[in-house]
Structure formats: C-alpha cells, structure tokens
Amino acid sequence: MSKKPQVPTNQLTIPYGNESGFIADLAQETRLRGAISQAIHQSRLSFAQVAEQISTRLGEKISEDMLYAITADSHKQHRPPAMWVMAVCMVTGNFLPMQVLCETCGGGRYLTKKEARLFELGQATLHRKEAEDRAEALATLAQQEK
C-alpha cells in the first residue's frame, strides 16, 4: 500500500478527474492556462483590457503582466486563482476555462443558464411522464379491483 504524498497546508488540493485528491498534474494545468488564454484571445479584448476589467470586478489590481503569467506554461509558480478564472469568463463571455475546471474536478460540466433551464425542463418532462405512467398503472389496478 503506497503512502499518500504530503500536501502543504497552504496549498489547495484539486482532484482533477482522478481520485487521488492531490495537486493538479501538468497536463491539466496546461489545459487550464490554454483555456484562459483562448478565452482572452477570442474575446477581441487585449490582455490589458481584460486585466483592467478583472481588476474592476474583483476590486484588486490585476496587471497585464499578472494575466500573462497565469497563462504562460513557463510560469509554473503562477497558478490561476479560481476568482480570476471566473472573472475571465465573465469579462470575455467565454466559459471554456470554467468548463475545464468542472471537467477536471470530477468530470462535471459547466452549464450556461440556458442549458441549465433546458436540463431542468428535461427533468420536469421526465418526472411528468413517470407520474402519468404511474397514474395510468394505478387506474388500471383500480379498474381491475372493481
């Protein structure tokens, strides 16, 4: 039986799609950095504009250099904070970085508001169909008991 590695107490552990519960592997971290970079590039905003808007949303100074650092694979010591990831998504309108986080934290999926409503509608439709089938079965039983 292998001994689990010790995680520093000041380090957040993220399972990233496996059950080990330990710090993200390089491939997942690279994927997240790439998703953040892609979201920024596809937004047609500059890194400086995104940094300024993130700063405004979070109430803390985020520089263009800081944003470049969390998207550069060469800056492993600069991990993207979760609040920055959410802010990038909100500023760019691209939720790929959140999708990457959801997938790597246990296989989840990020849903837009529209997708969530459609999912709820599907669930409600399914429950209604199940209730109708159950009511029909009970009516049939009641008829047979007469």
Per residue in 73-106, pLDDT (tens digit) is 777 777 888 899 999 999 999 999 988 888 877 7
Give yes or no: residues 50 and 67 share one domain. Answer: yes
For residue 2, tell me if it sits in a domain. no
Structure tokens at 56: 């405004």
DSSP annotation string for 79-105: PPPHHHHHHHHHHHS--HHHHHHHHHT
Pair 101, 117 in one domain: no
Give domain status of residue 20, yes or no. yes
Q: Is the same domain home to 24 and 93?
A: yes
Distance CA 54, CA 84 (A): 7
pLDDT tens per residue, range 21-63: 445 566 777 888 999 999 999 999 999 999 999 999 999 999 9
Radius of gyration of the chain (CA): 23
Q: How many domains does the chain have?
A: 2
Residues 89 and 145 in one domain: no
Report the distance separating Cα 125 and Cα 115, nearest Å.
15
CA 89 – CA 86 distance, rounded (Å): 5
Range of the domain at 142: 111-146
Answer whether residue 3 is part of any domain: no
Q: Considering only CA atoms, which of 83, 43, 77 is closest in space to residue 62?
A: 83
Model confidence at 13, pLDDT cuts 50, 70, 90, reads: very low
Give domain status of residue 95, yes or no.
yes
Q: Domain for residue 129, yes or no?
A: yes
User: Which residues, 6 or more positions from 15, have their beta carbon under 8 angstroms from its beta carbon?
Assistant: 21, 22, 104, 105, 106
